[in-house]
Chains A and B, each alone.
Chain A
Amino acid sequence: MIDRDEVLHVARLARLALSEDELEPMARELSAVLDHIAKISELSLEDVPPTSHVVELTGALRPDEPRASFPREVALEQAPAVGGDGFLVPSPQA
């Protein structure tokens, strides 16, 4: 139901590396689950509104009042790599 290429595509979207050994089991397991799940797409539900929020309310908004920010040390505390005053990452290739 979901083939190897689709698995690779989805893995790319999700930024998940999958080794060769992992690809086949993943495809198999996802297909098995999707087999069960896919049945809901066969139900006739055209006139049913989708539920996005189970809470039947609209949102109270936050007043535009400042709250204290973290000191920089706290923000950077758990960073795997720090450069100067910020979070160091490999550059996105453009």
Chain B
Amino acid sequence: MSSDVLELSAAQAIAAIDAGDLSAHELFAFYRERAQADSDANGDGLNCFTWVAEGAPSATAGPLAGVPLAVKDLFCTEGVPSQSGSRILEGYRPPYTATSVAKLKDAGATLLAKTNQDEFAMGSSTENSAYGPTLNPWDRTRVPGGSSGGSAAAVAAGLAPWALGTDTGGSIRQPAALCGIVGLKPTYGAVSRYGMIAFASSLDQAGPLTRDVTDAALIFERMVGQDPCDATSLQFPEPIAKPTAERLDGIRLGVPAELRAPAGDFADAELEPGVRDAFERALKLAEGLGASVQEISLPHAPHALSAYYVLAPSEASSNLARFDGVRYGMRAPDATDLLDMYTRTRHDGFGTEVKRRIMLGTYALSSGYYDAYYGSAQRVRTKIAEDFKTAFDSVDLIVTPTSANVAFGLGEKTANPWSMYLSDYFTVPMSLAGIPAISIPCGLAAPGGADARQSSGDASDAQQSSGDASRGEGGLPVGLQIAGPAFSENRLLDAAYAFEQALGFAEGAARV
């Protein structure tokens, strides 16, 4: 079995199961063993998982035909630990399952494992997990990105065929970019948030992390829909289609000047040369596929990061108030009184980054500061949404690098919070506007200043630029972000598919 099965994408596995060439049971056992091995490897593994299924699930039929699914820790899965990467919820087993996960289970997916993440989804490297960092399968001295680092690394390493993550400011897209896989953040409201342990309610969205664009469309199709348990969820206006586009003829791509060359206060978000080269090559490739590329402006995009780091911590400070030791989760022992119970429980149970953001959010909402911070951030948000609307009058899709850098080293950005926050520079504008965006691998680059090991030149050469890179040696994955107007996921997936076919990125390079 082994390596043949490992080569199968989820869509291919489903086809094989439907054809009777593969049994869902065997497929599950195969991946379960690999996942368990990673968990058992302790220091030698990637630390992708916080829980692995113990046995085979009961028989599953449905369009997803029993393909095992890894699910980020913060999705409530009934009877299975759902900790959102935090000590304060260690061992917490919810009495219900998140709607998005239940829908996938109803469609035939089986729960393989829960994946590691930054605590309460706050982070861009998975180093904020209370259960240890997850390592990047391309280079184990580096981070897989965050907060859905466990899901991204698992898919990249072939420890799970596909996985669910969540994206609040980039937490699906950025780890997908750093691990060389596909990650989709849907239109806000397209997927129910019921059962997702909340970080920032007006920004959180569930989405797939997959090997390829076809798999992403396959899962996404089963996730969308209005949920009576989530008042902010919407009916998707059209069915999700299997992407088939081979070319980009007639598609107008816009590149925001502000996100191509960050400057001034945000010069720190400047692209690594290798990332810039890979991005520019992708644009050339797009033109070769028939797209037109033009520069556009999103005038308020440079302020998106600041607005995000007011709005998200503010909502989080409120969402995390329920972790008080009263009804579930950790409670500090021997509390002398109620105040002591609250303050010590939360001090002991929350990690440093979470505490920092709770403090930031509480401050921004507090009396005297609301207008300057929260009020301003809401207004910036309005402007950013307007900027995108205006931009989409003249272009169909917007492209940017997903991240300014390839995977960085463990510990490299933990000393300075703002340097870590800059990881979200290219992804938060879309989150604030609530529009969908996908990240796909578009090449490899050496980290820092060195040039990537590939030929420069025209579009046809670009097709050779990736693929032959073995783990880490030829460079580290670079992600291309494609964003579209609300509910344009079908267009996004098609464009992403066309890129994917042309790029021929060998995502299997990082398999364990």
**Which residues on B sit within 8 Å (CB–CB) of A62?**
228
Please, how many angstroms separate the alpha-carbon atoms of A59 and B234 in the complex? Answer: 10
Q: Mark A21-59, 1 if CB is under 8 A from B, else 0.
A: 000001001101110111111010100111111110101
Cα A59 to Cα B233 in complex, Å, equals 10
B388-408 interface mask toward A, CB cutoff 8 Å, 1 = contact, 0 = none? 000000000000000000000
- Give B323's nearest chain A residue, CB to CB: A15
Residues of chain B in range 301-353 having any CB-CB distance to chain A below 8 Å: 303, 305-307, 309-310, 317, 321, 324-331, 335-344, 346-347, 350
Select A40's contact among B303, B330, B331, B418, beta carbons within 8 Å: B303
The answer to whether A10 and B366 touch (CB under 8 A), given A16-B343, A30-B360, A87-B327, is yes
Q: Are B95 and A74 touching (Cβ within 8 A)?
A: yes
- Considering the chains assembled together, what is the distance between the CA atoms of A79 and B376 in angstroms? 40
Q: A18-B347, A50-B378, A87-B327 are in contact. Are A11 and B434 (CB under 8 A)?
A: no
* Bound CA span A57–B434, Å: 13
Q: What is the total number of residues of chain A having a CB less than 8 Å from a CB of chain B?
A: 51
- Asked if B385 is at the interface (CB within 8 A of a chain A CB), the reply is yes
Residues of A within 8 Å of B232, CB to CB, are: 53, 55
- Contact in complex: A10, B359 (CB < 8 Å): yes
Residues of B within 8 A of A15 (CB): 321, 324, 339, 342-343, 346
Q: How far is the CA of A37 from the CA of B360 in the complex (A)?
A: 10
Interface residues of B, count at CB 8 A: 67
* A14 pairs with B378, CB closer than 8 A: no
- Per DSSP, chain B at the interface is helix
For the complex, what is the distance from the CA of A7 to the CA of B335, rounded to whole Å?
23
**Cβ–Cβ contact A53 & B202, under 8 A:** yes
Residues of A within 8 A of B325 (CB): 80
B173 interfacial by beta-carbon distance below 8 Å: no
Interchain CB contact under 8 A, A50 and B359: no
Known: A60-B231, A89-B338. A55 touches B418 (CB 8 A): no
CB-CB under 8 A from B228, the residues of chain A are 62
Set of chain B residues within 8 Å of A87, measured between Cβ atoms: 326-327
Could you tell me the distance between the alpha carbons of A16 and B358 in the complex, rounded to whole angstroms?
Answer: 9
| 0/1 string, B281-317, CB within 8 A of A gives 1 | 0000000000000000000000101110110000001
List, sorted by A's number, 27 A–B pairs whose CB atoms are closer than 8 Å.
A6-B363, A10-B362, A10-B366, A16-B350, A17-B343, A30-B360, A33-B421, A34-B360, A36-B418, A37-B373, A40-B306, A40-B376, A40-B377, A41-B376, A43-B303, A43-B376, A48-B379, A48-B383, A49-B379, A50-B379, A51-B378, A51-B385, A53-B202, A77-B95, A78-B92, A79-B326, A89-B338
A-B contact sample (6 more), CB < 8 A, given A16-B350, A91-B337? A30-B363, A48-B382, A51-B378, A55-B434, A77-B95, A79-B327
- Chain B residues in contact with chain A, CB under 8 A? 92-93, 95, 188-189, 202, 228, 231-232, 234, 265, 303, 305-307, 309-310, 317, 321, 324-331, 335-344, 346-347, 350, 355-356, 358-360, 362-363, 366, 372-373, 375-383, 385, 416-418, 421, 432-434
Pick the 10 closest A-B CB pairs, nearest first: A50-B378, A54-B434, A80-B331, A17-B343, A78-B328, A17-B347, A45-B379, A15-B342, A41-B372, A48-B379
